[in-house]
Each structure stands twice: as C-alpha cells, then as structure tokens.
Structure 1
Amino acid sequence: MHVDQLPGSFFGPSNLIELLRHRALHQGEDVGLRFLLDGERETTEWTYAEIDRRARAIAASLQAMGMEGERALLLYPSALDFVVAFFGCLYAGVTAVPAYPPRRNRNMARIDAIANDAEAKIALTTFEVLERVQTMIADTPALQQIRWRSTDQWFEEELAAQWRRPDVHGETLAFLQYTSGSTGTPKGVMLNHA
C-alpha cells in the first residue's frame, strides 16, 4: 500500500492535508463541494479528486515561489475558489489568512491591517477581484510589498504533479482567522491542523 493511502494514524488523518488526500484517494469521484447560488440553486460542483488536484496545483505554485512557512492573504468571494486556495495553502505549508475582498468604492484599510498583522508575503485571489483592487493596492504602499496572484489559471495537471507534501502535523498553524474589526483593528486567532 502506498503511503498516500494510509491515514495519519490509527485514528484517522492527523491534519487537514491527510483528510482531503484520503477523501480524494478513496472517494475521489464523490462530490466534495457544491456551490449554491443564492443558497438554493446548484451552479457548480467539484469532486474530492478535483479539489485535491486544484489544491496541489496552487500548492506547487506557492512552493515554487518559496512560500512554505509564510502567510498568504486569501481574498475571495464566497465560492469554490476560496476553498481550493485555502487547501492549496495548507498543501504548500503556507498559513492561510482569509479575508473578504473589499467592496467597490471602499478602501483597503481593513485588508492592510490584516496583511500587516499577519505579516503576509503573498495575496491570492481571483482575476476579477485582483483587477478590481489594483488601484486600491496602488494607493496603499504596504500592500504593494506583497506579491499579488490570481489563482484562476493555476489548475493545470502539470502543476499538481509537481506538488511536494510539506512537513505539517496536527499542531502546525493552518490559518489565521481575523475578527471583522467593526469595533477597532481586526484581531487574529491562530488555528492549527488538528
């Protein structure tokens, strides 16, 4: 039996990477994510195998940029792309820092505060969001120091094949979840893989 087919321990996967890899290998053709437009109408669904492949492609890209151990700001609308980028970060050994993208005609103050506090080195988003925030980034010098990438085209098979499993365990930091900041500066909470 190949090591990828084994759970992390007798009790099952010991981290989020092993959990999704296990599903992709043993239930690959089952629907893993289904996006409901307006909470009711099904628009898109991806299998566990597809989620895994897309996450590995994003992870391989992050690994090629030397991002392992760093933090990545995730600016996605609520959709499937966020989930894949989130797992892509985990698969790369990168700490995910999710935040809502700013709405039209709003400044980037909250995003700037989160990026600075998290010490994010890269920001991942969709092409549409990146295009929309370009001028806001130009007006925020600190955000100009971060690498900005659209992950829409990172889903190629060749990239997924280049993925290397990072050294993570249950206590490894998986993501930083920030408060809304409605009463002040957003505050981060550290969450691990366990």
Structure 2
Amino acid sequence: CGQLVCETKVAIVHPDTLTRCAEDEVGEIWVSDPSMAQGYWQRPEATEETFGAYIKDTGEGPFLRTGDLGFLKDGELFINGRLKDLIIIRGTNHYPQDIEWTVQHFNSVFRPDYGAAFSITDEGEEKLVVVQEMERRTGDLDTEKLLGDIRQEIAEEHEIQTHAIVLAKSGTILKTASGKIQRRACRQNFLDGTINTVAVWSENPELVAKFE
C-alpha cells in the first residue's frame, strides 16, 4: 500500500461489470502511466484485454488490468490479493488470506503463514478447501477435534461451510521465491492426493480416499 505517484492514474474496477468501484470498495486495480509497457509481443488479443481496458460507465482508459485486488482510501492504495485467488461460493466473495489467518491464529499447533485456502468444483458446486501445515513439534494431537474446530472457526468468522481440510506435515506448502503462498500449486497437489498429511477430513469420502 502507499501514496500514488503523481503521473500514475489508478482506478478500482468491478472485474465483472467493468464499472468503477466506490471508495473503500474492493475491486481490481487498473493502472495508467506514461512509462507503462505497450503490450505483449505478437499477442494482439491478450494485449487488448490486459493493456487496453476501458471503464464501462465512464469510458476512461486505456488502463492496464493488473489482476490485483485492492481499494483506495484517502488517496492511498491498499492491496488485498490476487483476483485469480479469490474464492467465490454461492455468489459471495471470500479472500483466501482472511480464511488462512483465521485458521492459523486460533491454535498454536498451526504453522503461521503456511496455509492455503482455495475452492474446488465438487458435485457441480464451488466448495472451500483448506490446507494447513502443522508445527514440527506438537506432541500428541487430537486431530479429529482440530478438524472440527477449524470448521467451526471458519463458519463463525466467515459464514461459509468448509468442504475439506488437510492438516499437512511441515515443509508441504509451496511458496514463491518472494515468499508468497502458491495456492494454485497447492490446489493441484490436493486434487492429485500428493500432500504429505497428518490428517484429512472431507464431506466427500472420495477426496479423503485419495490420501490413503
């Protein structure tokens, strides 16, 4: 987050309707700047979509669609996360980092900053999955109680039901070189059943069976 540079124009836009968001409202960050790149080499369609965006209700543009989510407040830009990581279940947006924070801060056996929340399509619906690393030394654990506590915490804090939870061994969650959680890679590992687990729970027994 921070103050905007004078020559940089920033708009917060609804990514679906392409209309401008109100102040304090979270949307996709669009940027216009004289030093901005002109597009992708020999990829005209991708260039137009990413570098040639116009706000639908005002006609302002062109803007670069950054793919980041954020909001403006008192002239400062605050970044919430990536649009591609946004969890949308039954028409409601949920930010994965908020769910991850809830899980990691209610019990010290969970390793901070080493969890991933994402959605999968199961039985024709988008459903929430949480993968959370455990601390290396936790002693004897009642994993069944921990799994139930996670479901309860998420339901109370975010009003959403959890479809599957994986308690993973330390060193499981992948990160980028800059330390960001690789949620899409974690999602793929979950679907493949390749996560090194301590315990697994799901409403769908077929998902649990992948880890047996």
**TM-score of the aligned structures, taking structure 1 as reference length:** 0.30
Larger Rg: 2
Q: Which is richer in strand? A: 2
Q: Which is richer in helix? A: 1
- Which one has more relative contact order, counting CA pairs under 8 Å at least 6 apart? 1
